[in-house]
Amino acid sequence: MSEDNFRSNMKKKLTYIIIAGVIVAIVFASTYFASLQTEKSAYKEFEYLTSGPFSVIEYQHKLGEDIHIITHGIAPTEKGTIRVYTPKNVEYVSYPFDGSVKSDFNVYFKVTTSARKDRCSPDDLIGIWTMRFEGVPYPPIQFEFINEYILGGEANIKNLCQYVT
């Protein structure tokens, strides 16, 4: 084999190796960036409903979801109670706060039925809920439970009206 043929074959092999390397790099890069996109979409951006230092994550909720209340920057002079009311205007849960003790805290609760006349049915939970702030001048925050369940939510939210006395 002549030196020219040898060089020609080497150039062809080198060209094939470079093309193969570029293809492998493209496949690797596209796989890497696709995994980054999947990771980003797994972390949902939340909408916050805010009144003063108090916030609730998201307006609309399905039955079975947790309701997250986030507080940030309660003034040392602010003291009171967060009160959460059902669509029937019945107090569901309350949380005291005192800015001189703690200016930031997070709590959550999950709505469920109980053997009480005002919340024995899942229908009693559906609608606009109101969070009021007793002891401070902040306006209420409202959020909604819709007539849909999270996966597995039906197991924990049952109609208990037959047990109401």
Q: What CATH number corresponds to the domain at position 74?
A: 2.60.40.1930
Residue 66, both tokens: 């947790």
What percent of the chain shows pLDDT beyond 70? 82
Is the confidence at residue 57, as pLDDT, over 80?
yes
The verdict on 21 and 53 lying in the same domain is no
Residue 36: give the domain boundaries: 1-43
Residue 22: which pLDDT band, with cuts at 50, 70 and 90? confident
Q: What is the pLDDT of residue 155?
A: 84
Bridge partners of residue 104, in order along the sequence? 72
pLDDT, average across residues 100-107: 96
> Which of 24-33, 77-86, 106-115 has the weakest average pLDDT?
24-33
Number of domains in the chain: 2
Is pTM beyond 0.75? Reply is no
Joined tokens for residue 93: 């849960």
DSSP 165: -
Count of CB atoms situated within 10 Å of the CB of 143: 17
In this structure, the number of other CB atoms found within 10 A of the CB of residue 160 comes to 17
